[in-house]
Structures are given as C-alpha cells and as structure tokens.
Amino acid sequence: MAGNLLDVVNLYAFDPADLVAGSVGGAGRQWPSWQADAACLGIGAEDYFGRALSPEAAQRCAQCAVAGACLEYALAGDLFGWWAGTSERARRRILRARRAALLPEVA
C-alpha cells in the first residue's frame, strides 16, 4: 500500500519535460497531455495530498485552464488527493448526482 501511495504523491514531483518523454510515474506510464498545462505542474505534493486544500492550491485550481479535464480524470480514476479543487468526498457526491440524473423518475 505504501508504495502505491508514494506513486500518487510523487505525481507532482516531476520535471515537465518528462511528460513528453513519457517517463512520469515510472514503468513507462503515460500521463494525459492536458497535465502539461496544469497550474499545479511542478508544485509540491504537500498542497494536494493533505486533509485540506491549502488556500494557495485552491487559488491555482480555481484559475487553472485544464480544471475540467482534471476533474473528469479524477472522477474516472477514483484518485486520492485533491484534483481540480475537489476532495474525494466531493467527487463521490458529483458521481452520485450524475448517476441520479440518469435514473428515470419514479412516480
């Protein structure tokens, strides 16, 4: 478990040039191309993997040009930490609301 958590935390501790090389995350893992434009690129993981999102990190997320793609990525992957300014709990609520919107109304 600890190894997996470290892999996630290390997401933000990389050189942007690695996105092009495809070596981010080890074992040839490819990250989505939108991450090269993320406002958090190169920022320390401590802002995004704690109990609360720091005010500075929240501001970066609020102004990020790829926040929508970031949120969809996190929703699809059930990821740990703060993504697009949302917590895991907030993302679960978003998913529940989306599922509820797809269900037919019961009379």
End-to-end CA distance of the chain: 46
Lowest mean pLDDT, pick from 1-5, 21-25, 50-54: 1-5
pTM score of the predicted model: 0.68
Scan for tokens 């609020």, then name that residue: 62
In the structure encoding, which two tokens stand for residue 103, read together? Answer: 């269900």
Given phi > 0 = left and psi -120 to 50 = alpha, else beta, which region is 27?
A: left
Residues 64-97 pLDDT 10s:
999 999 999 999 987 889 999 999 999 999 999 9
Residues 6-47 pLDDT 10s:
344 344 444 444 444 444 444 455 678 899 999 999 888 888
Identity at 93, one-letter amino acid code: R
Closest CA to 12 of 53, 37, 48: 48
Backbone angles phi, psi at 62, to 5 degrees: -65, -30
